């Protein structure tokens, strides 16, 4: 009996002396390699215990309403996703107040393969009939806007995009002035993008 009590006392002492840093937080991690565009289900993510210091901001947990949300970027097995990696308001995490996510349909759907989230692009409008009228120069609608999502990432467009026809779509982050110019721009002509070197904007 004395030996049992001593074991219990030692166990309690060890627990009390365990540094807080050794305690674990439970987050969700990819159960397998997950492609961009995938609509998440419970089987796609599994609980993972990590040190509190290892929990990224916005990490998904069992209480996060992620069911049916679409991945904006691929995940490797064991990687901890955050809300910023899901299509929807999370894509605008960290952007300036009043920033809008604007979907644009490019005139050349194949060009979407050249861009990925995080890249900066200039959005250019070529008026209908521009080839027949050389005097009509392409118009720069928005400069150095970051790409949030492209149809090349796979999957169907979510309800957040308002359409299931995602071919040739690029979603960019725009300030209020840029968003006003870009809204409905595709009805005025053909939209193209030009890749921007980030170092040139510092």
Contact criterion met (CB below 8 Å) for 171 and 52: no
- Token duo for residue 75: 């995940």
User: Is residue 159 very low, low, confident or very high in pLDDT (cuts 50, 70, 90)?
Assistant: very low
* CATH numbers and ranges of domains, the chain: 23-86 (3.90.1210.10), 95-197 (no CATH)
Please report, rounded to a whole number, the percentage of residues in the chain having pLDDT higher than 90: 36
Q: How many residues does the chain have?
A: 202
Cα separation, 157 vs 154, in Å, equals 9
**Which of 11-20, 79-88, 119-128, 150-159 shows the lowest mean pLDDT across its residues?**
11-20
- Segment 104-149, tens digit of pLDDT: 999 999 999 999 888 999 999 997 655 555 567 899 999 999 998 8
Cα separation, 138 vs 134, in Å, equals 10
Cα separation, 95 vs 124, in Å, equals 23
Cα 124 from chain centroid (whole Å): 24
The string over 52-81, giving b where at least 16 C-beta atoms fall within 10 Å of a residue's C-beta and e elsewhere, is eeebeebbbeeebebeebbbbbbbeeeebb
Span 17-42, average pLDDT: 80
Q: How far is CA 125 from CA 56, 101, 118, 148, in A?
A: 39, 18, 21, 20
Q: Are strands 120-127 and 139-150 parallel, antiparallel or unpaired?
A: antiparallel
Q: What is the 3-state secondary structure (H, E, C) of the chain?
A: CHHHHHHHHHHHHHHHHCCHHHCCEEEEEECCCECCCCECCHHHEEEEEECHHHCCCCECCCCCCCCCCEECCCECCCCCCEHHHECCHHHHCCCCCCCEEEEEECCCHHHHHHCCCCCEEEEEEEECCCCCCCCCCCEEEEEEEEEEEEHHHCCCCCCCCCCCCCCCEEEEEECHHHHHHHCCHHHCEEEEEEEECHHHHC
User: Is residue 165 very low, low, confident or very high in pLDDT (cuts 50, 70, 90)?
Assistant: low
């Amino acid at each position: 009996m004395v030996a049992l009590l001593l074991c219990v006392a030692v166990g309690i002492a060890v627990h009390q002396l365990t540094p807080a840093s050794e305690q674990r937080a439970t987050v969700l991690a990819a159960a397998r390699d997950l492609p961009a565009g995938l609509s998440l289900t419970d089987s796609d993510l599994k609980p993972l215990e990590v040190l509190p210091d290892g929990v990224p901001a916005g990490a998904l947990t069992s209480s996060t309403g992620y069911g049916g949300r679409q991945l904006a970027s691929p995940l490797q097995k064991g990687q901890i996703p955050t809300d910023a990696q899901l299509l929807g308001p999370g894509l605008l995490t960290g952007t300036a107040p009043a920033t809008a996510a604007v979907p644009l349909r490019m005139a050349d759907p194949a060009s979407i393969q050249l861009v990925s989230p995080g890249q900066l692009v200039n959005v250019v409008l070529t008026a209908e009939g521009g080839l027949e009228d050389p005097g009509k120069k392409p118009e720069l609608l928005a400069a150095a806007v970051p790409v949030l999502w492209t149809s090349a990432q796979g999957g169907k467009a979510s309800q957040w995009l308002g359409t299931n026809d995602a071919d040739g779509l690029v979603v960019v982050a725009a300030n209020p002035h840029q968003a006003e110019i870009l809204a409905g721009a595709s009805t005025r002509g053909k939209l193209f993008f030009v890749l921007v070197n980030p170092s040139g904007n510092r």
